[in-house]
Amino acid sequence: MLIFIALLYVCLASGLAWLVLFPSGRSLVARGMHIVRGLAGRAGGLRHAGARAAGAVYDGVTLSLRERVLQGVRRHRVLLAIGAPAVLIPSLLALALSNPAMLPVYEGNAALPDAQVAALLAGEQLVPPVALPPSVFTTAEVELVRPMLVTASRNWGLLHPDFSQRLLLAFKIMKEQHGYEMALLEGYRSPARQDELAAAGGHVTNARAFQSWHQYGLAADCAFLRDGKLVITEKDPWAMRGYQLYGQVAESLGLTWGGRWKMMDLGHIELRMRGVMQR
């Protein structure tokens, strides 16, 4: 239905632009209406021979109209080349932005074939791990890679329940199958904090308030624990291997992994729920 409305809008806008910009268009429309009225008035009294003659006249008029249209297009091809995109692009953008299904950013992967996920959806409820002491997040290494982390929220209760359970399941799989113990660096992020991080520069984040899934409790930044210390940097081969495995596990659970982005965020995952974020 939206596509039909957009096409109708494009046709109407193009027709109106043609009438406003080109006097020949207005003249051609007026001439066509005059001819149509004349043919309609004669139709009642014409017999078969007259009808054939009228048909010939109509064909001639149609040919004349076609020639005039082609001449007008050739004469004003520069204006048309500028005007057509000006009409088409806004309408197509409006169509795309009005339908979240057309933008993959809104959707998550609904296919969850893993047996553990099936068990989770059947009613298994995983419990968040014990909170780590604040000192874990204030080491020199952590401050270097993730400044301002000490004030981040690691409250599992502020996360969306569906996302929280998938994230906990990812933690469980990483530990049981791959031997990596994981820690939540930041979950829910307030709009004020999001703007604060954005103000720090594009190397931190390009998203402002309500442009990040963190504001909806549907994103988390995570890292690894080794010997009781956080290992965040991907320069560590052990951590880099963990990030790759973490991305695979997250995607198998229907989550989006930041490691596939142009500006990679290896510890970031999010659950893109349809209709939540309206950009």
Condensed to tens digits (0 to 9), the pLDDT of residues 108-141 reads 444 444 566 666 656 678 999 999 999 999 999 8
% of residues, the chain, pLDDT over 90: 48
Q: What is the mean pLDDT of the chain?
A: 78
Task: Determine the average pLDDT of the residues in 187-191.
Answer: 97
The more confident residue out of 212 and 115 is 212
The pLDDT of residue 102 is 35
Residue 256 has φ and ψ, to the nearest 5°, of: -95, 130
Q: Parallel, antiparallel, or unpaired: how do β-strands 268-270 and 256-257 relate?
A: antiparallel
Buried/exposed 144-165: b ≥16 CB within 10 Å, e otherwise: ebbeebeebbbebeebbebbbb
Closest Cα partner for 183 from 217, 144, 149?
Answer: 149
Residue-level pLDDT at 99: 40
Q: What is the pLDDT of residue 238?
A: 97
Token code pair at residue 252 = 């198998």
Predicted confidence at residue 147, as pLDDT, reads 85
Whole-prediction pTM value? Answer: 0.60
Task: Determine which helix (DSSP H) or strand (DSSP E) holds 230, and give its type and residue range.
Answer: strand 229-231
Query: For the chain, what percent of residues have pLDDT higher than 70?
Result: 58
